[in-house]
Structure 1
Amino acid sequence: MVSSDEVRELLADSGAEVRPDVPLAGLTTLRVGGPATVAECADEAALVRTVGALDAAEIPVLLLAGGSNLLIADEGFPGVVVRIANAGVELTADSVLAEAGAVWDEVVARTVAAGFGGLECLSGIPGSAGATPVQNVGAYGVEVAGPLRRVRLLDRASGEVRWAEPSELGLGYRTSLLKHSDAAVVLAVEFALDPTGASAPLRFGELAAAFGAQEGETRPAAEVRDAVLRLRASKGMVLNPDDHDTWSAGSFFTNPVVPEPEVERVRAAIAARVGDVRVPVYPAPDGVKFSAGWLIERAGFGRGFPGADAPARLSTKHTLALTNRGAATAADLVALAHTVRDGVAERFGVRLHPEPVTVGVTV
């Protein structure tokens, strides 16, 4: 493990602020994770120089901004955590350019307040702007892949900084080429906006119902943002330091896509356990998408599982979120994730996959 003094010397001219033994729990929304040396970069130039210097010295790097989709081991991280803190936001006539460290919901709020539509369905999602294309963040019928115009990337092998088109990123359901590779660092993102102030089409039934609208209709972006924030808050999905249901990484498991030849087998397993019920499914390119939250509940893991005394529990508002009740460790959360994952697999023959990025642990 490299010492903090060595890191400070290496990064003396980078523009980064180096701090030793920082508890990473304080930098993630799950509020778990052991210590590490942190190099905080407040602008793009410092970020590029810092990553370049660490890579040249072959020091392991963990990139961290909002920490909302991250589960870090209790032992911490043995290399250097590069904190992405460049946070500029610029509006044009039909777009918004946000630096990677900008708080995502603040970006959305700023576009809506300025009279633009397009991002309002993504309101209340914790984390940074730079993480949104990595995860292809989505909610209430909108994915980042829709309004995304381009992404500014640092190529870690060559040091080149360039703009990349969405078509280069392999954007899919909660994934991208960026998520599964350390080859590039997101420096900034640009999104197209609707200058009329109309929302994106309402394609999520629950949200459309809130307006008495037909799916596909639009409403003023500001009204849709307010409705999305209310819906998310009711599920514990808007950060609140006083509400342990929000001490989470959001939805912990992705909705599983079952290949067509396996769908009837899964339906039969569900019917054998819970009877002839309506199963919420959605079309997917490679099969049929089932609701992970629905499967978790029907497998016997209700809200608040495994009980009031457990340090890590399913949210009391939303079974798809694994939450830290104030004193949980990463090991506690991993154990709960394994219990839920294995229970769903045993009962329905469907394997759930974690959505958060894991560091030093296996889920």
Structure 2
Amino acid sequence: MPDVEPRPLAQLTTLRTGGIPARMIDAHTTDELVAALLEVWGDGDDWLVLGGGSNLFMGDEPFDGTVVRVLTEGVEWMPSPRPGFARLKVQAGHDWDALVAYAVEAGLAGIEAMSGIPGTVGAAPVQNIGAYGQEIVQTLIEVELLDHATREVSAVPAAELGLGFRTSVLKHHYGSAPLRSAVILSVTLELAEVGHAERPIAGAQLRTALGLAEGQAVSVAWIRDHVLETRRRKGMVLDDTDPDTSSAGSFFQNAVVSASFARTLPDECPRWPVAPDLDPVLVIPLEAFDGYIPPARTQQPDVKVSAAWLIEHSGVGKGFKLPRSRAALSSKHALALTNRGGATAGELAELARFIQGRVQSEFGLILQPEPVLIGVEL
């Protein structure tokens, strides 16, 4: 078993918090990863699987359990049954942005707008990562995972993962356990073979973010370069020299609210409709049919509203920090809580609670954290 000397989790998470775990295992191959997890699960120890540490908020106390670091890498080309598409099977520990760069270099489209997102490929489906109108649900075919309950490895289709807005059945939401406890071993994506020629961009959200006119043609490499530049301006690309990037990315989720609640917010608050669930198929037994068919259910779609706008318009601006605290909002992006150097998890949590309180007081809405919180509460 590849045990290593435990390192402080503050060195392995982008928020720079967390103590030293009791035990640490580095898994460089799938076999090592499976063996490590089976051993830890069999012993009944507390456990934590760690990829890039970019969506994790650890408490200040040492972690009394085993941390398994997923360091597997590799990309395998696979045939697709769809003409003009290719499938990539990627190991869970592979760096996400390295995969995007690889796909763009190969002339494959479908994930280029998610350039610069930190973390590993295995973590991507857990919260259905997305940016500028692209989400991994749009290209994900299946994941290979090790199930905690059955201790078995299986291929699970994307349709069975409950992928939604920054969520899946695998995600550990704040205050609740995941619906399915399992660890992803590999991810299979299906990407369009578009080459390096310029082509029109269909997504309005991506066009707006990059300043493109409708019908304007650009290459996948152009999109990647400009997305990276946009993210850098917001402090959302990891850079050891920039304290604004010592964060977990967007700390609060954009809120999904009812259409009626959205109407109570100022008109200036950015919002986007969320497609409603389709009505279930109505089946009326023939012997019970009396000629009447009930009208279709009508419902206004829910609305996603900008958490960043709510924060800034509750009086908490970019760069805000509480007195004597080493935690602050990013000076570039109102959604990112940053560690300005030596901040404790307690300081970051105090700032998060203050922001939640301000938004609730001004707009009647409680923002929910996006990262996984372990050993810390808001």
1:176 matches 2:168: yes
| Match of residue 332 from structure 1 | 347
Residue by residue over 1:226-272, the C-alpha shift from the partner in whole angstroms, topping out at 9 and shown as x without a partner, is: 010010001000000000000000000001111233233x32xx4xx
| Match of residue 318 from structure 1 | 333
CA–CA distance in 1 between the matches of 2:3 and 2:344?
28
1:26 matches 2:24: no
CA–CA distance in 1 between the matches of 2:240 and 2:27?
25
Residue by residue over 1:184-221, the C-alpha shift from the partner in whole angstroms, topping out at 9 and shown as x without a partner, is: 11000011111123789452546446353228x66311
CA–CA distance in 2 between the matches of 1:202 and 1:299?
34
Secondary structure at 1:193 match in 2: strand
Structure 1 letter corresponding to 2:151: G
Structure 1 letter corresponding to 2:362: R
Structure 2 letter corresponding to 1:87: E
Aligned length: 338
CA–CA distance in 1 between the matches of 2:254 and 2:309?
10
Secondary structure at 2:192 match in 1: coil
Secondary structure at 2:187 match in 1: strand
| Match of residue 235 from structure 2 | 236
Structure 1 letter corresponding to 2:232: A
CA–CA distance in 1 between the matches of 2:212 and 2:125?
31
Normalised to the residue count of structure 1, the TM-score between the two structures is 0.88
| Match of residue 76 from structure 1 | 62
| Match of residue 46 from structure 2 | 60
Report matched runs for 1:1-363 at 5 Å.
15-20=1-6, 22-36=7-21, 37-92=23-78, 94-180=86-172, 181=178, 183-197=181-195, 201-205=201-205, 207-208=207-208, 210=210, 212-214=212-214, 219-264=218-263, 266-267=264-265, 270=266, 277-284=267-274, 285=276, 287-306=302-321, 310-363=325-378
Instruction: Indicate if the aligned counterparts of 1:147 and 1:193 stay in contact, CA closer than 8 A.
Output: yes
Q: Indicate how the Cα distance of structure 1 residues 208 and 92 shifts in structure 2: closer, same or farther if over 3 A, else same.
A: farther
CA–CA distance in 2 between the matches of 1:101 and 1:204?
32
Normalised to the residue count of structure 2, the TM-score between the two structures is 0.85
Q: CA deviation at 1:134?
A: 0.1
CA–CA distance in 2 between the matches of 1:207 and 1:323?
29
Instruction: Indicate if the aligned counterparts of 1:16 and 1:47 stay in contact, CA closer than 8 A.
Output: no
Instruction: Indicate if the aligned counterparts of 2:207 and 2:214 stay in contact, CA closer than 8 A.
Output: no
Structure 1 unpaired stretches of 5+: 1-14, 271-276
Instruction: Indicate if the aligned counterparts of 1:207 and 1:228 stay in contact, CA closer than 8 A.
Output: no
| Match of residue 12 from structure 1 | none
Instruction: Indicate if the aligned counterparts of 1:313 and 1:325 stay in contact, CA closer than 8 A.
Output: yes
CA–CA distance in 1 between the matches of 2:137 and 2:214?
23
Structure 1 letter corresponding to 2:156: A
Instruction: Indicate if the aligned counterparts of 2:269 and 2:310 stay in contact, CA closer than 8 A.
Output: no
Residue by residue over 1:264-312, the C-alpha shift from the partner in whole angstroms, topping out at 9 and shown as x without a partner, is: 3x32xx4xxxxxx522111123621110000000000000002696310
Secondary structure at 1:178 match in 2: coil
Structure 2 letter corresponding to 1:335: E
Structure 1 letter corresponding to 2:144: R
Range 343-352 or range 86-95, more displaced: 86-95
Structure 2 letter corresponding to 1:100: A
Structure 2 letter corresponding to 1:174: R
CA–CA distance in 2 between the matches of 1:222 and 1:308?
44
Structure 2 letter corresponding to 1:322: L
Residue by residue over 1:136-167, the C-alpha shift from the partner in whole angstroms, topping out at 9 and shown as x without a partner, is: 00001101100111101111222211111111
Instruction: Indicate if the aligned counterparts of 1:121 and 1:200 stay in contact, CA closer than 8 A.
Output: no
Structure 2 unpaired stretches of 5+: 80-85, 173-177, 277-300
RMSD: 1.9
Instruction: Indicate if the aligned counterparts of 1:148 and 1:192 stay in contact, CA closer than 8 A.
Output: yes
Secondary structure at 1:109 match in 2: helix
Secondary structure at 2:108 match in 1: coil
Instruction: Indicate if the aligned counterparts of 1:118 and 1:200 stay in contact, CA closer than 8 A.
Output: no
Residue by residue over 1:113-153, the C-alpha shift from the partner in whole angstroms, topping out at 9 and shown as x without a partner, is: 12211110010000000000001000011011001111011
Range 105-114 or range 194-203, more displaced: 194-203
